[in-house]
Amino acid sequence: MSPFSPPDGFFDQQRADVLRAVQAPRRFVFAAVAGLAATLVIAVLWPRQQPCASYTCLLEATPVEELPVEWALEGHGEMDAWEVWPNPETLESNR
């Protein structure tokens, strides 16, 4: 019978620490692999934004505050106010 006794709960705590230490490498590798796989899946499935090819698309894609001021003041505005004008052929076909 040993006259030494550790603090209460010491054995349970150390047992948990030791088990965690011997399991740690597997969990680390699993976490790293899972993280990499998740990144790849997101990269593949992420919807890519297609450039607008029509006036309607441009209109919908542009936030209101970024619309040319003159255009906003004149109701549906002058199409010349756009700095980057869509392809006229596409624009015609969308009208």
Partner 1 sequence: MAEETAIPIWLNDLQHGRRKEKERAFRSFLDTWHQRLYHFVRRLMGNHDDAADVTQETLIAVFRSAAQFEGRSAFSTWVYTIASRKALDALEKRSRQQTIGFEEAFHAAEVALMADAHFSGDEVERQLHAAVAALPPRQRQVFVLRYFENLPFAEIAAATGVSEGSLKASYHHAALKIKQHVTAP
Of 60, 65, 66, nearest to 82 by C-alpha is 66
Residue 21 binds partner 1 (CB under 8 A):
yes
Binding status of residue 27 toward partner 1 by CB under 8 A: no
Per-residue HEC secondary structure of 6-38 comes to CCCCHHHHHHHHHHHHHHHHHHHHHHHHHHHHH
> What is the token pair recorded at 19?
């088990």
If one asks whether residue 28 binds partner 1 (CB under 8 A), the answer comes out as no
Q: Is 51 in the site for partner 1 (CB under 8 A)?
A: no
Contacts of 72 (CB under 8 A, 6+ apart): 64
Instruction: Out of 9, 26, 84, 89, name the contact with partner 1 by CB under 8 A.
Output: 26
Q: Does 80 bind partner 1 (CB under 8 A)?
A: no
CB of 32 to partner 1, least distance (A): 17
Kindly list the residues in this chain that would bind partner 1 in the complex (CB under 8 A): 2-7, 10-11, 14-15, 17-19, 21-23, 26
